[in-house]
Each structure stands twice: as C-alpha cells, then as structure tokens.
A = this chain, B = another copy of it.
C-alpha cells in the first residue's frame, strides 16, 4: 500500500512563507525556460447550467522530480449555500515511480504562487523606486498579491484598495484583508505602510506606480489615458476566454510579458487585444526569459509594462513539492494508505 499525505488549507498556509513561494515560482520559470518542465494541455469545461466552470492544469517538473495536476472549479451559486465559490485540489506524484505523494487543498497554494508570480514581475519590470500600489479587486487573492509585492519591492509604502462592487463592499472586506496581510507580512517585521480604500479610480491610477488587477471582469476597468508614465501593471484576473481587465489600448502601448505565451494569448489579458489586432503575437515575451538572463525588462523609466498571468502548472508543482517537503520534515498532515 502507498501512503499519501493529505494537507489541508490551514496546514499549507502555515508551512510556506512568501519568500519561499517567490523562490519556488522563480525555479518553475527557470525550468520552463530550460525545458526541464513540461506543461500538459489545459482542460476547461463550462457546466451546462452556466453557473459553474472548471479548469484542469497539469504538468511535469523534472527539476523537482514530480508531476501532478490541479483542478479548480468555480460555482457562483455556492454562496447561497454558504460554500466557497472556488475549490482547488491538487495531486502530486513522484516522477521516478509514479507513486502518489500528496493530496493538497490547492486554494492556499494558488494564492501563494499567484502572489509570488506578480511579485516576480515587479522585480523584473516595475520601477525600482515604486512607492504606491493600487490593488483592484478585493477577493481572497488580494492580500497575497499585496504582501508579495512588499517582499519584492522594498520601497513600497502605500496601498490603495479598490473594489469594483463599490465602497461599501470594500469597507466590509477591509478588516479581513488587513488581517491576512498583516499575517503574511510577519517575516518583514517592522515594515511601515498605509492602506486606504479609494473610490475615484482614474485619479488613483494616475498616482500609482504599480497596479494589480484581480477581478473576474469581462469589461475593461482601467483606461489607457489614466496611467502615468512608468507604471507597471499585473493583470491577474483574466484566465478564461472573454475576460478583460485592461483597455486594449494599454496593451497596445505597453511592454508585455506573460507567464506562458500560448496560454496568455488563448485565455489571458492579451487574448482580446490580439484578436482585435491591437497587439502582435511577436511583441509578447515570456517573463522566464528575463529570469534566466538575470535581466530587467524595463528599458526606460517612462515605459508602461504589463505582466499578464494566467497561471501555469509548473508554478503549482514547484510550490506543491516545496510544501510537501516542508510538511514531511515538520511531520504535518495526515498520511493515509491508498
């Protein structure tokens, strides 16, 4: 009988720090660039009711000696039954024998790896003296995105929060956001920063150095002429055909990096501008190139840079294996015979 380690949400959150997540995601990018990692085709399914969707991402990360899979589902009506809208579940396997190693609640690790991916893009693309970050969207992912930004960008000290559902919703969600952020920032000790909820989006965009969007929007939320020169944008929300958070004209004039070119152009923020001919496929580069070359992607302080993240299986695998190793060492989780 094989033993599989089951790791729940709280255990995973307690095992990994953001700097470790950033390291793991960088390692995943290096594997992608060096072709020591393989992405299997992404499977997407929309449930016929129209109220649910599902995606399955899988791959093989040779450098971590694992392969695996992550299923993420989203059912809008779950809220009516006090259930989470999103479930994310991962299985991890040893690539030398095929033995199943772990079953993980992948919600926490997805938040971690997405925060890390955004932070890595800031390291390579944002202006080094960036001070103000605007967070658009206040879902479960948002504190991870902001916390990771603080680890990657030491000069950041101002956070603006914007909730597209309105200021009241923003105020309701703020305590939870702040609490989670504080916990994630514990390793940074005496980091000083201010947080404010904002209502006037164009005005705040104009004074932000970094903007992170993480909403399920299907209509652009940010307009090209609101931006000041030199802004870096992380477009995190678009991960299905038809989703769009940024006005296509932003991408038209920006330097664009993505996590995976095929996936981003298919389901990411670049999909619609590409389809409308406002950007060209050959103007899109993968962030992993910069990481392997140890090179910053910004050529001037005035450029607008965009990072379009759709999330790739190698990130999940890299971080899952790290969590698994930490759990084994700390004797955390439940081992069950399969």
Name A's B-contacting residues (CB within 8 A): 1-2, 4, 6, 8-9, 38, 40-41, 43, 45, 47-48, 52, 54, 56, 58, 60, 62, 67, 69, 71, 73-75, 78, 81, 83, 86-87, 89, 91, 93, 95-100, 103, 105, 334, 336-338
Contacts and interface: CB of A to CB of B under 8 A. Distances in A.
A336 B102 CA distance: 13
A2 to B, nearest CB: 7
B95 A100 contact: no
Contact of A9 (B1, B45, B67): B1
A105 B62 CA distance: 24
A41 B43 CA distance: 7
Contacts of A52: 95, 98
13 contacts: A2-B105, A6-B6, A8-B338, A40-B45, A43-B43, A48-B62, A56-B69, A69-B69, A71-B91, A73-B98, A89-B93, A103-B103, A334-B336
Contact of A4 (B6, B41, B73): B6
B54 A98 contact: yes
Given A4-B6, A9-B1, A40-B43, A97 B78 contact: yes
Given A2-B105, A56-B69, 10 more contacts: A8-B336, A38-B45, A40-B45, A41-B43, A69-B69, A75-B97, A87-B98, A87-B99, A89-B93, A103-B103
B45 A67 contact: yes
B87 A58 contact: no
Nearest to A89: B100
B83 A338 contact: no
A95 B77 CA distance: 12
Contacts of A95: 47, 52
A43 B58 contact: yes
A54 B83 contact: no
A316 to B, nearest CB: 15
Contacts of A103: 4, 6, 91, 103, 338
